[in-house]
Structure 1
């Protein structure tokens, strides 16, 4: 019997090791306000969002504007550096399968703790969802440029409208305080939101650029704690005479930035603009996923051309030196589809498990 128990113990430790061997250090933190209030609330939960996102492509751009510096500074041309890096080999069906498993684990844990899951059909009867549309997973789509959002099979949510590009706009319910309104509308039920971001790039520092445009991207596959998604803006030419004179609508090198944070929240009840009780779980630092994407960097560098007038200057030399210059570096990295999907699942599932453990430990 002792030898059998020893074998079982070895199996347990081995399984734990296999589960965590490809993950870096895992440090989570959370804040819980109104524990006593939430304990007294109905044991009903509505899952308002379950967003799992992963990055497969990143493009970054830097622009150095030229100009006339006179006889001393001379004339300088504009310089543009553009770097792009992507992952090849990711399989959509595996990513959907892992997302479904994450959601199933989440729902089963809530049910095992004695909670009733409020359906989207019931939530759709509230006034908050008047004139909204409902959609149900599974589905995979681009949430931001280069970032894929996966919707679990069987999960339903409401959205206000779709853009011409098919992008879903969820409207005001994603804002601060609106989960509290929804909780009140559903009889003081707890509202759950899950947002996870698995990223593989980081922006490198570009010191001492001088008269040049420079972009540096580094690879680091991880479940991101906090990250700023930067999407280069593609300039659009203005129409008409004014457009020809003033140029493009957007400034060259401009980006649209979107904050991304992996988190889980539970909110319950409504008082004023906030909620009676809330739990917020986040990461202290990124969870690194090792052994899937080799750490490397991609750099694009373009020096500005310059022209200082002298008595020996030629017009052709001026044109050549002050012309706009471009440098583009693109790299694709092939990954093992199964390893990538496992790393994605393990990091997200570990984070959710730790936060649910913390939440329900306070609720007992």
Structure 2
């Protein structure tokens, strides 16, 4: 029997692509648009104002349940504190950088294939909008202001940022929705398109944990591009000795803006691409639930003395650290595939408006 080598090769390719596709979960994109009808097919000048990949590397939590007197003062319960630290193992800075480089190169290649002219950072740096701003460039991996997160900027990419005081950052965070930098840049660049890419890769989600008379923390591991996630984290920041909870927040987004109205100052045309649900990446790390639980000791017997009885109950602390094993190559391939699908889809959808 003669074997058809082309048929076998085709079957192997199909199996390979199917196996790769099975690693990614349901892709549920969504978008919000405004004024795309104003865009002209001839306007294919574009400036990449931001291209950053945010990775969750570790998470540290702490919960305390205060003890005290029991019902009708028939004893006392001690304090309970649960601590949980979970992080990714085996990954290096080079791995995070590789993903950022791959996604940026693919994005630029996609823009070029669609006929876009990419405006250089040097030209953008001469605009009024960027006057007084500082310039930086990749390859670069740095610690994020959000707990447990790092940010990677791709090689061959330059960007501008505004140096702010702590007070300035506070007000900047509060009024971020009012930021007019994209449309200001577009105006300064003769109504060119300005695009901002901000991707978030999380490896865990918080789970509900009933507290009762205990301190209880639960999480589950799940690698994904998150739709809209806020993961709590321990923080030593706060007033005097009082600690507070911080959050690592992430929304995967790609935002296009062009033109600026003279009245009101809003962009004439916008496209915002996000996700309806988390875009999961399977086959990279074990998906499991991790818990730290502590309950204070109870003393209902007490110690008799001249004044009656004295109750003492021991405080309890449960501390758990889990390092999750990760295959670096699978992590790179999985996150790159998910990021590429996200960016390709939304660039294609935006590009339809210019045809």
Q: TM-score range by the shorter chain?
A: 0.7 to 0.9
Q: 1:123, 1:174 → 2: CA distance?
A: 21
Could you say what secondary structure the match of 1:129 adopts?
Answer: coil
Local SS of the residue matching 1:154: coil
Counterpart of 1:206 in 2: which secondary structure? coil
Greater displacement, 123-132 / 190-199: 123-132
Q: Give the SS at the match of 1:128.
A: coil
The offset of 1:75, in angstroms, is: 4.2
Q: State which drifts further: 117-126 or 131-140.
A: 117-126
8 Å CA contact 2:206–2:232 kept in 1: the answer is no
Matches within 5 A, 1:136-285: 136-143=137-144, 144-161=146-163, 175-178=177-180, 179-207=182-210, 209-234=211-236, 238=240, 248=241, 250-251=242-243, 254-271=244-261, 272-285=264-277
Work out whether residues 177 and 274 of structure 1, in 8 Å CA contact, stay in contact via their aligned partners in 2.
Answer: no
Counterpart CA distance in 1 for 2:206 and 2:283 is 21
| Partner SS for 1:42 | coil
CA distance in structure 2 between the partners assigned to 1:313 and 1:56 by the alignment: 54
Deviations 1:220-239 (A, max 9, x none): 1111111113231116784x
User: Which blocks of at least 5 consecutive residues in structure 1 are unaligned?
Assistant: 239-247
Q: Aligned in 2, Cα 1:329/1:270: closer, same or farther, shift over 3 Å?
A: same
Distance 2:304 2:52 in 1: 64
* Residues 61, 83 of structure 1: 8 Å contact kept: yes
1:94 matches 2:86:
no
- What corresponds to 1:245 in structure 2? none
Distance in structure 1 (CA, Å) of the matches to 2:306 and 2:123? 77
Aligned residues: 344
Query: How far 1:108 moved relative to its partner?
Result: 1.4
1:334 aligns with 2:325: yes
C-alpha displacement of 1:203: 0.7
The CA RMSD measured in Å over matched residues stands at 3.1
| Aligned match for 1:287, one of 265, 269, 279 | 279
Map of 1:60 onto structure 2: 61
With over 3 angstroms needed to count, the CA separation of the structure-2 counterparts of 1:111 and 1:313, relative to structure 1, is: farther
Summarize the alignment of residues 319-330 of structure 1 with structure 2, pairs less than 5 Å apart.
Answer: 320-321=312-313, 324-330=315-321
TM norm structure 1: 0.84
Q: Give CA-to-partner distance per residue, 1:261-290, whole Å, 9 cap, x none.
A: 011111111122421111111112112111
The DSSP-based 3-state class of the residue aligned with 1:98 is: helix
Contact 2:30–2:273 under 8 Å retained in 1: yes
Stretches of structure 2 that go unaligned for 5 or more consecutive residues are: none
Is the counterpart of residue 302 in structure 1 residue 304 in structure 2?
A: no
- Structure 1 residues 163, 90: closer, same or farther in 2, change over 3 A? farther
Q: Spell out, residue by residue over 1:194-215, the C-alpha distance to the aligned partner (whole angstroms, 9 max, x if none).
A: 11111111111112x2111110
